[in-house]
């Protein structure tokens, strides 16, 4: 597929109140692999965004009163339709985002696991009763949907980040205005089309793309929007946190990470190598929970770096549609220049390139391994978001825990050790919202996904994730005995 219009799920109008709305303006969308234009996408005006908020607000009045069974069934219909068209949807993701078809299919499975999970959770929202200190009084705690949700999603998982936000919101009776990423708009509009087919009420889901700063500002300044749910960079998260203060909107922020990946002396080397490779290859390392700093114990450092480099250097970055590509290109030229700049600054600051270090084609970056990296280098402080693995040495547990925690981020962390007491100590000392211990697969619908520190607030997935879309209302009722 070369042009997005070849897809049966191609839509290039705004989705407002269950209808396709022709925009006044369009913008160009490019294939990250060859930089060719793949189509045009709608650019919303201020009025369009306000129409979307009004539609969500009006729909909320009735949708909030619908039964959990009704909402659960709609989510199940939606998931079934997406699954039926998985191959076509995956092609859209590969064309606009660049990841391999295999990764795109994996993303769809992952994204739908949230729709399925929240379809079940919709029926399990329980309030509770608290005993009063008076016999003539009943205290009930009721959970209610927060209202209209303003959701903003990134390009790196353009399908799953949308479903991970929209599904819990719709499950509890909220309605949504989604601003999808401008780099990857088409899969979001395809999801809107399938949601309409699934039977969702007009106005329950509204999708716009356009000027991110303007749309963010409108969502935050409109008092009818009661929650902002954002996934993206910490920089933008801070802007939204400040803007949402105006009306004290409920806030969920899934932001950037700088995950440590620690391999202790006692670790199962093969398991740790497999884990590190998995993290670096998946989605071309453009993932917020990707290993970003690899700390290896001094006694196994040389062996580990050599073996990792042997394996990683065999991987190929290329066209996501080619079967022999292990991972795709970076999202655009800016991302490519930033990653190449980080490699260059590391070398200038004293690191060594073990393999890779260049772009093989356009934004396709060779698998790159840097050794002898130090914690005061520029790369140690940045989220790399590319196939570059920097290796740091450590000698003691205390030293590595301090280095690992020396970052404003706290999204994910990983460590490998077979020493039980060490596992317990390090587990308690590392500061992050999620932790893989002898494990790297940490994102599943039953897991509360989210960070601490500047990696964000709130959770997505799990029991905790659905509660982020609920208000707690306490009623105190006096009655005659
Ligand atoms: P980004 O912050 O640049 O963009 C994210 C979204 O915000 C996009 O839709 C963008 O258009 C929009 N945006 C940009 N400026 C805005 C503004 N002023 N107001 C409102 N919206 C605005 O991030 P990105 O480059 O698209 O994505 C990569 C980042 O996302 C990385 O930092 C990554 O770690 C993070 N991320 C986090 C998670 C998580 O769950 N914690 C998951 C995926 C990605």
pTM exceeds 0.95: yes
Distance from the CA of 153 to the center of ligand 1, in angstroms? Answer: 6
Catalytic status, residue 349: no
Distance from the CA of 327 to the center of ligand 1, in angstroms? Answer: 21
Checking if the pLDDT of 240 tops 90, the result is yes
172 contact partners, CB below 8 Å, separation of at least 6: 71, 122, 125, 143, 145, 466, 469, 470
Distance from the CA of 150 to the center of ligand 1, in angstroms? Answer: 14
In the set 254, 383, 397, 454, the catalytic residue is 254
- pLDDT tens, position by position, 297-333: 999 999 999 999 999 999 999 999 999 999 999 999 9
In the set 59, 174, 220, 288, the catalytic residue is 288
Q: For tokens 């929209």, what's the residue?
A: 166
Pairing mode of beta strands 412-416, 259-263: parallel
Atom of ligand 1 nearest to the CA of 236: 2
Pocket test residue of 46, 107, 154 for ligand 1, highest count of atoms within 8 A of CB = 154
CA pair distance 24, 46, nearest whole angstrom:
11
- pLDDT tens, position by position, 52-72: 999 999 999 999 999 999 999
Catalytic status, residue 288: yes
**Tell me, what's the pLDDT at 329?**
98
Q: Is the CB of 127 under 6 A from ligand 1?
A: no
Q: Is the CB of 242 under 6 A from ligand 1?
A: no
Checking if the pLDDT of 384 tops 90, the result is yes
Q: Is the CB of 213 under 6 A from ligand 1?
A: yes
Q: Name the residue at shortest CA distance from atom 13 of ligand 1.
A: 212
Q: Is the CB of 342 under 6 A from ligand 1?
A: no
Q: Is the CB of 155 under 6 A from ligand 1?
A: yes
Q: Name the residue at shortest CA distance from atom 40 of ligand 1.
A: 254
261-285: average pLDDT: 97
Phi-psi map region of 250: left, alpha, beta (phi>0 left; psi -120 to 50 alpha): beta
- pLDDT tens, position by position, 100-149: 999 999 999 999 999 999 999 999 999 999 999 999 999 999 999 999 99
Where does the pLDDT of residue 23 fall: very low under 50, low under 70, confident under 90, or very high at 90 and above? very high
Alpha-carbon dihedral sign for residues 164, 165, 167, 172 = positive
Distance from the CA of 210 to the center of ligand 1, in angstroms? Answer: 14
Distance from the CA of 209 to the center of ligand 1, in angstroms? Answer: 14
Q: 324 — phi, psi (to 5°)?
A: -85, 5
Distance from the CA of 156 to the center of ligand 1, in angstroms? Answer: 9
Q: Name the residue at shortest CA distance from atom 23 of ligand 1.
A: 232
Where does the pLDDT of residue 162 fall: very low under 50, low under 70, confident under 90, or very high at 90 and above? very high
Pocket test residue of 32, 157, 220, 233 for ligand 1, highest count of atoms within 8 A of CB = 233
Distance from the CA of 160 to the center of ligand 1, in angstroms? Answer: 14
Distances (CA, A) of 372 to 265, 293, 391, 392: 18, 12, 6, 6
87-98: average pLDDT: 98
Task: List the structure tokens of 411.
Answer: 């999204």
Q: Is the CB of 288 under 6 A from ligand 1?
A: yes
Pocket test residue of 96, 231, 232 for ligand 1, highest count of atoms within 8 A of CB = 232
Checking if the pLDDT of 186 tops 90, the result is yes
Checking if the pLDDT of 78 tops 90, the result is yes
- pLDDT tens, position by position, 334-380: 999 999 999 999 999 999 999 999 999 999 999 999 999 999 999 99
Atom of ligand 1 nearest to the CA of 179: 9
CA pair distance 449, 250, nearest whole angstrom:
18
Where does the pLDDT of residue 1 fall: very low under 50, low under 70, confident under 90, or very high at 90 and above? confident
Distance from the CA of 316 to the center of ligand 1, in angstroms? Answer: 27
Q: Which of 315, 328, 316, 280 is nearest to 93 (CA)?
A: 328
The torsion defined by the Cα of 435, 161, 71 and 144, in degrees rounded to 10, comes to: 60
207-225: average pLDDT: 98
Beta-sheet strand order (sheet of 137-145): 128-130, 137-145, 470-478
HEC readout, the chain:
CCCHHHCCCCCCCEEECCEEECCCEEEEEECCCCCCEEEEEEECCHHHHHHHHHHHHHHHHHHCCCCHHHHHHHHHHHHHHHHHCHHHHHHHHHHHHCCCHHHHHHHHHHHHHHHHHHHHHHHHCCCEEECCCCCCEEEEEEEEECCEEEEECCCCCCCHHHHHHHHHHHHHCCEEEEECCCCCCHHHHHHHHHHHHHCCCCCCEEEECCCHHHHHHHHHHCCCEEEEEEECCHHHHHHHHHHCCCCCCEEEEECCCCEEEEECCCCCHHHHHHHHHHHHHHHHHCCCCCEEEEEEECCCHHHHHHHHHHHHCCCCECCCCCCCCCECCCCCHHHHHHHHHHHHHHHHCCCEEEECCCEEECCEECCEEEECCCCCCHHHHCCCCCCEEEEEEECCHHHHHHHHHCCCCCCEEEEECCCHHHHHHHHHHCCCCEEEECCCCCCCCCCCECCCHHHEECCECHHHHHHCCEEEEEEEEECCC
Question: By percentage, how much of the chain surpasses pLDDT 70?
Answer: 100
CA pair distance 445, 441, nearest whole angstrom:
12
Phi-psi map region of 236: left, alpha, beta (phi>0 left; psi -120 to 50 alpha): alpha
Between helices 46-63 and 212-221, what is the axis angle to 10°? 40
């Amino acid at each position: 597929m070369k042009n997005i219009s070849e897809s049966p799920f191609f839509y290039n109008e705004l989705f407002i109140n269950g209808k396709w709305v022709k925009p006044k303006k369009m913008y160009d969308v490019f294939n990250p692999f060859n930089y060719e234009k793949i189509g045009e996408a709608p650019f919303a005006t201020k009025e369009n965004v306000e129409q979307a908020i009004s539609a969500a607000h009006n729909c909320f009045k009735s949708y909030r009163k619908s039964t959990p069974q009704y909402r659960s069934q709609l989510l199940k219909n939606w998931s079934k339709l997406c699954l039926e068209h998985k191959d076509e949807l995956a092609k859209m993701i590969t064309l606009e985002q660049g990841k391999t078809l295999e990764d795109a299919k994996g993303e769809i499975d992952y994204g739908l696991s949230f729709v399925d999970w929240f379809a079940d959770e919709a029926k399990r929202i329980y309030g509770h009763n608290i005993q009063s200190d008076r016999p003539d009084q009943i205290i009930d705690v009721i959970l209610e949907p927060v209202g209209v949700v303003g959701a903003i999603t990134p390009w790196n998982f353009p399908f799953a980040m949308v479903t991970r936000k929209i599904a819990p919101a719709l499950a509890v009776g909220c309605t949504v205005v989604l601003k999808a990423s401008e780099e990857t708009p088409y899969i979001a509009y395809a999801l809107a089309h399938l949601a309409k087919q699934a039977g969702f009420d007009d106005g329950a889901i509204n999708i716009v793309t356009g000027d991110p700063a303007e749309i963010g500002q409108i969502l935050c300044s409109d008092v009818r929007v009661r929650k902002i749910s954002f996934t993206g960079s910490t920089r933008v998260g801070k802007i939204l946190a400040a803007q949402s203060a105006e009306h004290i909107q409920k806030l969920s922020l899934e932001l950037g990470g700088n995950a440590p990946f620690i391999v202790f002396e006692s670790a199962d080397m093969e398991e740790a190598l497999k884990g590190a490779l998995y993290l670096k290859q998946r989605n071309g390392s453009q993932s917020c929970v990707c290993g970003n700093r690899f700390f290896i114990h001094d006694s196994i450092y040389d062996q580990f770096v050599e073996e990792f480099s042997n394996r990683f250097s065999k991987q190929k970055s290329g066209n996501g549609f080619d079967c022999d590509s292990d991972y795709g290109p970076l999202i655009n030229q800016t991302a490519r220049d930033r990653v190449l700049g980080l490699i260059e600054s590391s070398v200038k600051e004293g690191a060594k390139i073990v393999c890779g270090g260049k772009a093989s084609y356009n934004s396709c970056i060779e698998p790159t391994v840097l050794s002898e990296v130090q914690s005061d280098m520029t790369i140690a402080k940045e989220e790399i978001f590319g196939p570059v693995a920097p290796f740091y040495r450590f000698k003691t547990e205390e030293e590595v825990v301090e280095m690992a925690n020396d970052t404003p981020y706290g999204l994910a962390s990983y460590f490998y050790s077979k020493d039980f007491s060490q596992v317990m100590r390090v587990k308690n000392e590392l500061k992050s919202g999620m932790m893989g211990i002898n494990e790297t697969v940490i994102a599943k619908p039953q897991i509360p996904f989210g960070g601490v520190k500047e990696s964000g607030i709130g959770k997505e997935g799990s029991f905790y994730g659905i509660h982020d879309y609920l208000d707690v209302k306490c009623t105190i009722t006096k009655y005659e005995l």
